[in-house]
Chain A
């Protein structure tokens, strides 16, 4: 299984809502990532987990809270988001941290009203 799955595919939320994005991989990869991608821009790294521990936080606002419950799962908890946070949120995994070959999920299209 070489697939990274993400749920939901689409999410619309108000600025006072709390929601979570979920990501799952069963490739035995030890590193998992969250990226944010705005329209017509490249993916921007947000967080890196390595062996289930947060390794890199790219100065992401605290309204985004990552969680890695186990080696196959990665969550991104959202609270009090702003309209400018609307974007495609991509999850990825790789064998080890910051490997060049990463496997990406299809993303969650988030709209903040």
Chain B
């Protein structure tokens, strides 16, 4: 069964590092794991994607273990403007060739 699992919500304070994990079994072997950010009444915005190990860009890092059954989005030193919903996006294997968004994690950053 194609399924992803993310925490429903997380709270943090300005300046802290936040790690959000998405669990995903049976994902396509040769496909990226992607993360999006969404603010209220806006479309999702691409943050980062990776295939394995670690990827870093100017806004986030993505950690993917060797078994690829999960991925962790890391946001360094969050600010109030990072308050948003974060989705993982994966493609499942087994002929189910569809990209599926996780349920999303609501991150609230407090002063």
Within the assembled complex, what's the spacing in Å between the Cα atoms of A102 and B91? Answer: 14
Q: Give chain A nearest CB distance to B16 CB in angstroms.
A: 25
Contacts of B103 in A (CB 8 A): 41-42
- A101 contacts B43, CB within 8 Å? no
Inter-chain CB contacts under 8 Å: number: 50
Closest to B46 in A: A101
Our pick among A4, A43, A106 for the contact of B101 (Cβ within 8 Å) is A43
Within the assembled complex, what's the spacing in Å between the Cα atoms of A58 and B96? Answer: 12
Our pick among B32, B45, B102 for the contact of A100 (Cβ within 8 Å) is B32
Contacts of A15 in B (CB 8 A): none
- B43 contacts A105, CB within 8 Å? yes
Within the assembled complex, what's the spacing in Å between the Cα atoms of A56 and B91? Answer: 15
Asked if A100 meets B42 with Cβ closer than 8 Å, knowing A42-B87, A42-B104, the reply is no
Would you mind naming 17 contact pairs between A and B with Cβ atoms under 8 Å apart? Answer: A40-B104, A41-B103, A41-B104, A42-B102, A43-B44, A45-B99, A90-B44, A92-B43, A98-B97, A98-B99, A100-B32, A101-B34, A101-B46, A103-B46, A104-B44, A106-B43, A107-B43
